[in-house]
Amino acid sequence: MFKMSNIKVIDNFLEKKEFKMIQDVLLNNDFAWFCNKNMTFSNDNDLYFTHKFYNTPTSISNKFYLFENMIKKFKFKSLIRVKANLYIRENKKRKHADHSDYPFKHKGCLFYINNNNGETYFEKEKVMPVANRAVFFDPSKKHSSSSCSDSPIRVTINFNYL
């Protein structure tokens, strides 16, 4: 674990077996991804793919069970959202627009499914995607993702909770 300003990074967050199960499901050709036209609220027309597992007040995916053990580690009062993001490789890395997940103070965890060079930016810090790495932060503050150029895809899970 290491801490940078207002974020906490934990490598090897899950046991290998549990992480491998999640990774195998999300990276399987049969997993359902849904195309989105805008990554942020800025009408950027950047395509990416998502899968919502949970949206207050209930789970909306039959794969939500994958995260039930994991979210117990968060010590949350209320779960807001669990969403997977998949970005397709680009020839040149590109930082996406800054955004906040919700306009109210809450907690978040960004969990990386695969290794790639598409950093996540938090105010003055950036974090490299490393498989099985969890980053805890306040998602009401501006942050941004970026495309990757060294892997076919960049996959993350975004948890928002109180």
pLDDT class of 62 with cuts at 50, 70, 90: very high
Hey, how many other C-beta atoms are within 10 angstroms of the C-beta on 154?
28
What is the spatial distance between Cα 30 and Cα 20, in angstroms, rounded to a whole number? 16
144 with 119: CB under 8 angstroms?
A: no
pLDDT at residue 18 in the model:
97
Task: Please give the mean pLDDT across all residues of the chain.
Answer: 92
Q: Which domains does the chain have, with CATH numbers?
A: 2-161 (2.60.120.620)
Peptide bond into 57 cis (omega under 30): yes
pLDDT at residue 38 in the model:
66
Proportion of the chain above pLDDT 90, given as a percent: 83
Cα-based angle 109, 110, 112 (whole degrees, multiple of 5): 140
In 3-state terms, what secondary structure has residue 71?
Answer: helix
Say whether pLDDT at 67 is over 60: yes
First to last CA, the chain: 22
List all residues 6 or more positions away from 46 whose beta carbon is below 8 Å from its beta carbon: 38, 39, 96
The owner of tokens 């919502």 is 52
pLDDT at residue 6 in the model:
84
Say whether pLDDT at 44 is over 80: no
